[in-house]
Every structure is written in structure tokens, then in C-alpha cells.
Amino acid sequence: MHPEAAFLAGYSFSLILIAVGLERVGRCSTDPSTSRTLAASRPPTRRTSDLEPDWPHSEVPAFHLGLAAVALAAALVIATVSAVRNIGPVELIVHASLLALIGLRIRHVMVGYRTPTRQHTTKSGNEIAPDAAR
């Protein structure tokens, strides 16, 4: 495999890994009232586990999915450039696999973004539209 193709494919793959990592981090709860990780800093009086998290915790999945989308877009651009510049049997297989993987991850991100998991609550617990909360 041509060194340039190996470098660009490897770099592109590392961006995909970053995107996967960001998606997973985005799925973890950051709200001290519900997160096991942050249990130590949980305010003693707060019992809101039955409610959707407040801002900024409510934005966490979208925020991380957005960052993951940027990383995937960068991976897509670099992998495409590498595929155009390096044409050979091995390179073809590597780039095709890489582009397919990027496609799958982009689809995954888009599905995750469309899923209506983001809700905001007022102090009294009433739900309000995301735009109004912003």
C-alpha cells in the first residue's frame, strides 16, 4: 500500500474512532441527579430522576453528536481525497471499506439526532419545547 494512502486512511480511521467515542460519551448521563459516575457531587435535595434532565445536561447528546458529525465529515473528505489520489487493488479495498464505515456511522449519527430524546423541563417539571428553552 502506498505510504500516502496508508497515512490518510489511518488518519481517517482515527477520526472515525474519535466520532464513535464522542457518540458514546454523549450517551452517558452528566446530570448529577441520575449519573452513577457523578454520584459523589449529587445535590442531596434533588430528586428528579423521573424527569428529563435540565439544560445543559439536556443538550449533551446533541452536542456530542454534532462534534461526531464534524469528525466524520473530516474523515469522509480525507478518505475521499485519498481514494481519488491512490488507485490500486489494495487501496481500493481499504478505501471502499473506510467509506462504507463512514457512511454507516453518518447514518447512525443522523438517526440519533432525529430521535426526539431532548426535552427540557421547567422548574415545576412541565415540559417545554426545545426552542423555547433555548
Partner 1 sequence: MVIQGGPTSVRVRGNVEPRAARVMAKGWIQAVVLVGVFGFTVLGFMAARTYQADPPIPDRVVSASGEEVFTGEDVRSGQEVFLRNGIMQFGSIFGHGAYLGPDFTADYLHRAAVLVEATYGAGGADASGRTIEDFRTNTYDPATSTIVYSDARAAAHGELAQHYHDFFANPAGDTGLRPAAIADREDTRQLAAYFSWTAWAASAERPDKDYSYTNNWPPEELVGNAPTGDVVVWSVLSLIALLAGIGALLAVFGRWNWLGWHGRDQQELSFRSPDRVALTPSQKSTAGFFLVMAALFLVQTLVGAASQHYRAEIGGFFGIDSDRYLPYNIVRTWHVQLSIFWVVTSFLAAGIFLTPMIAGRKEPRGQHVLSNLLLGALVIVVVGSLLGELAGIHGWFGNAWSWFGMQGFEYLDLGRFWQILLTIGLAFWVVILWRGLHSRLAVEHRTNMPWLFFYAALALPAFYAVGLLAHPRATFAVADFWRFIVVHLWVEDFLELFTTVMVAYMFVLLGVVRQRVAMTVIFLDIILYSAGGVIGMAHHLYFNGEPAEVLALGAFFSAFEVIPLTFLTLEAWTFLQLGARQESNSATSFPHRWAVMYLVAVGFWNFLGAGVFGFLINLPIVSYYEIGTALTANHSHAAMMGVYGMLAVGFMLFCLRYLVPEDRWSDKLAMISFWSLNIGLAWMCFVTLLPLGVLQLHRSVTDGYWAARELNFVTNDLNALLGWLRLPGDVLFIGGGVLPLLWIGFNGVRHRGSHQDVLHDDDLLLFTEVSAASSYAPDDEPAGAR
* Contacts with partner 1, residue ranges (CB under 8 A): 4, 7-8, 11, 15, 30, 43, 54-56, 66-67, 70-71, 74, 77-78, 81, 85, 122-123, 134
**CA gap 132, 72 in Å, rounded:** 30
Q: Which is nearer to partner 1, 11 or 113 (CB)?
A: 11
Shortest Cβ 37–partner 1 spacing (Å): 12
CA separation, residue 131 to residues 119, 127, 128 (Å): 10, 12, 8
Shortest Cβ 92–partner 1 spacing (Å): 19
Shortest Cβ 50–partner 1 spacing (Å): 17
Neighbouring C-beta atoms of residue 19, cutoff 10 Å = 26
Give just the sign of the alpha carbon dihedral 107, 131, 56, 120: negative
| 73, 103 Cβ separation under 8 angstroms | no
Shortest Cβ 99–partner 1 spacing (Å): 16
Q: Which is nearer to partner 1, 68 or 94 (CB)?
A: 68
Q: Which is nearer to partner 1, 6 or 101 (CB)?
A: 6
Q: Which is nearer to partner 1, 114 or 134 (CB)?
A: 134
**CA gap 59, 52 in Å, rounded:** 11
What's the length of the chain? Answer: 134
